[in-house]
Amino acid sequence: MQTNFTLAQLADPDTAASEKILRACVHCGFCTATCPTYVLDGNELDSPRGRIYLIKDMLEHDRPATAEVVLHIDRCLSCLACMTTCPSGVHYMHLVDHARVHIENTYDRPPLERLLRAVLAWLLPYPQRFRLALLAALPAKPLAPLLDAIGLKRLAAMLRLAPWRGPQRPLGPQIFPAVGGRKGRVALLAGCVNDVLAPQINASTIAVLTRHGIEVVLAEGAGCCGSLVHHMGRDDAALAQARANIDAWTALEGLDAIVINTSGCGTTVKDYGFMLRTDPAYAERAARISGLAKDVAEYLATLPLKPAQAMPQLAVAYHAACSLQHGQRVNRQPKELLLKLGFKVLDVPDGHLCCGSAGTYNILQPDFAIRLRERKVGTIERLRPDVIAAGNIGCITQIAAGTKLPAVHTVELIDWATGGARPPALRAS
Ligand code: SF4
Ligand code: SF4
């Protein structure tokens, strides 16, 4: 695609990076077929190609974002299916990230929208605050249908996603020693939402790793990866969170990997090198941290895992989280691990399409998110699985809210099959 940026505009490294991306797009439109929002509404402006044109026009003319641009960029899930499909290697993720920062800096959102975004950015990345919010949400959960009926759909979506049980206390910094002689050492990103909503995911990750001789460290000072605010265009906050993690992990010696069991966070940590490429104090360390980041399935695939107990022949519908399949291109390992450990793995038709979770998307865009969830749950239920497995807490929460089938993290099944506890979601079944 031809672009018309001035030399002055191209002096800005973000604009220069976006210009390179725009030039790679040959507007063939292949990406439209796999874009969930285009599949839902058939509107070119809700397709990757349409969004690329909107972003190009906005950046080239150095214009403040318009309501039209904001509408269609906000509807984008950042699922990155378009990147997997694109034959020209267009790095849509970096382009839309840049557009979101531009929107945040130039567009005046309505006061209620601003307030909601500010609350989410203040709450979600901080496990203690998030835990208190979930405690407060518990008695209000039955009000969700009423809030829906009076048009407060986002509040209703938040209440629906809150669990019925009380939230857990997040894990603090500590070391979990390897069992039977240390063969490796990793840092674990405990995650902010993950740790409070579903502590069994970190427990399983720690159990399976330590049982196979890997020491697990939760680093002092590590916290949210920054993706929640990054996807809202709050660049300063996202970069501050990234820098804090880089400081925390580089203080640890002898790390073989930074293991991440929330694939949305994994995609962001793997991008720290790009996000901080112009920061002389962090660029080199950020690139090193990105190189060390591994999804938990990616790391476990390098260990000699063996089934430790005879497993029931469970049929597992494997839902590939977008951030894992499109963001990190980790496709093979989770399914191979499950197969190797005795599970029957069912591929979900249209598996490239997002479930509608996408960080805070299911709160900020509840209509699209619910339609995507219904579509996803329908395709999964038709497979008649015993259990649904996914590698991201967002997908697990989103899908579980629409089905009676148990939904677990892939690592819970791996831990169970190698001698760990049965996943809580399967205890009643
Ligand atoms: S598939 Fe790639 S090159 Fe084609 S329109 Fe989409 S982003 Fe552009
Ligand atoms: S990231 Fe997903 S929703 Fe956004 S344009 Fe690409 S395919 Fe569509």
pLDDT tens digit sequence for 250-278: 999 999 999 999 999 999 999 999 999 99
pLDDT at 158 over 80: no
Token digits for 74? 């906000």
pLDDT at 167 over 80: no
Reported confidence tier of residue 362, pLDDT bands at 50, 70, 90 = confident
Atom of ligand 1 nearest to the CA of 32: 6
Decide: 92 in ligand 2 pocket, CB within 6 A.
yes
**Could you tell me where the DSSP H helices lie in 179-294?**
193-197, 199-211, 227-230, 235-250, 263-269, 272-275, 283-292
pLDDT of 375 reads: 97
For residue range 198-235, list pLDDT tens digits in order: 899 999 999 999 999 999 999 999 999 999 999 999 99
Closest by Cα among 187, 183, 185 to 212: 183
Residues in the chain: 429
pLDDT of 307 reads: 87
Closest by Cα among 211, 230, 209, 237 to 97: 230
Q: Give the separation between CA 305 and CA 384, rounded to whole angstroms.
A: 28
Q: Which ligand has the shortest distance to the CA of 23?
A: 1
Between 12-16, 31-35, 137-141, the lowest mean confidence (pLDDT) is in 137-141
pLDDT of 166 reads: 67
| 82 CA distance to ligand 1 middle (Å) | 8
Atom of ligand 2 nearest to the CA of 354: 2
Reported confidence tier of residue 194, pLDDT bands at 50, 70, 90 = confident
| Distance, C-alpha 68 to centroid of its chain | 26
Decide: 26 in ligand 1 pocket, CB within 6 A.
yes
User: How many beta carbons lie within 10 A of that of residue 167, not counting itself?
Assistant: 21
Atom of ligand 2 nearest to the CA of 93: 1
pLDDT at 429 over 60: no
pLDDT of 359 reads: 85
Reported confidence tier of residue 408, pLDDT bands at 50, 70, 90 = very high
Q: Give the separation between CA 160 and CA 154, rounded to whole angstroms.
A: 10
- Is the sign of the CA dihedral 34, 39, 40, 45 positive or negative? positive
pLDDT of 270 reads: 98
CA angle 354, 357, 361 (to 5 degrees): 110
Q: Say what percent of the chain tops pLDDT 70.
A: 98
Q: Give the separation between CA 3 and CA 275, rounded to whole angstroms.
A: 23
Q: Give the separation between CA 107 and CA 109, rounded to whole angstroms.
A: 6
Reported confidence tier of residue 348, pLDDT bands at 50, 70, 90 = very high
Decide: 370 in ligand 2 pocket, CB within 6 A.
no
Reported confidence tier of residue 145, pLDDT bands at 50, 70, 90 = confident
Classified as helix, coil or strand, 422 is: coil
Reported confidence tier of residue 428, pLDDT bands at 50, 70, 90 = low
For residue range 273-327, list pLDDT tens digits in order: 999 999 999 999 999 999 999 999 999 999 999 888 777 889 999 999 999 999 9
| 400 CA distance to ligand 2 middle (Å) | 23
Three-state SS letters, 284-318: HHHHHHHHHEEEHHHHHCCCCCCCCCCCCCCEEEE
Between 141-145, 326-330, 400-404, the lowest mean confidence (pLDDT) is in 141-145
Backbone angles phi, psi at 130, to 5 degrees: -65, -40
CA angle 245, 249, 227 (to 5 degrees): 30
Mean pLDDT, the chain, rounded, equals 93
